[in-house]
Amino acid sequence: MNYPHPILAREGWLFIAGSLGLALLASSAGVWSLPFWIVFVFCVQFFRDPARVVAGGEKSVVAPADGRIVVVEEADDPYLNRRALKVSVFMNVFNVHSNRAPLACTVQRKWYMPGSFLNAALDKASLENERCALHLKTADGRDVTCVQIAGLVARRILNYVDAGTVLAAGQRYGFIRFGSRVDLYLPLDTRVKVVIGEKVLASSTVLAELSELS
């Protein structure tokens, strides 16, 4: 799960090898091979998986994915049935698609829901698209919900953790292929530090700071 970084994500090795093989075959056969090489280059850039520095401190909530902030608002958390602060990161096909734990925590529960494949930047994607949600609990008892959401061209959510898994902040726990989104539902007293439209990097951008429990 938390394997040494090979530069290219293991989830993409088959795609990269297959596209390279087709490009080489087309070139050797003397047919027009440019489209195959374009697909190969796209696969290499899509499945890149660089190591990341984990920002912040014990109370920091770091970005679970690379991308752009599309939601910062108070909302209903449909998994824990509470009001929460919702922060959403939209990943386009040019972002790194490894997903990382937003904070040090223990997984309490995991939900998988099949669904549609709407544009992940739309608000209704949070409730209508295919998704996989995790209830995370910090050592001091704060609850965070982290939801992987498939997108318009995404067709596979990969999630490698289950209830009882202990995660370090920034630890890699999943991957979504070809465009997607991650929603975080945070306690209402959390101090959000990002704004809509801001670009963030997984693990290296602090999204918010949790408050001390009273």
Phi, psi of 74 (to 5 degrees): -80, 135
Compute the distance between CA of residue 114 and CA of residue 27 in angstroms, rounded to an integer.
40
Q: Which helix (H) or strand (E) holds 185?
A: strand 180-186
Annotated catalytic residue, options 60, 88, 98, 180: 180
The values of phi and psi at residue 127, to 5°, are -115, -15
Distance CA 63, CA 67 (A): 9
Residue 180 a catalytic site member: yes
Q: What is the 3-state secondary structure (H, E, C) of 37-94?
A: HHHHHHHHHHCEECCCCCCCCCCEEECCCCEEEEEEEEEEECCCCEEEEEEEEEECCC
Task: Extract the tokens encoding 135.
Answer: 């209830």
Q: Which residues are catalytic?
A: 180
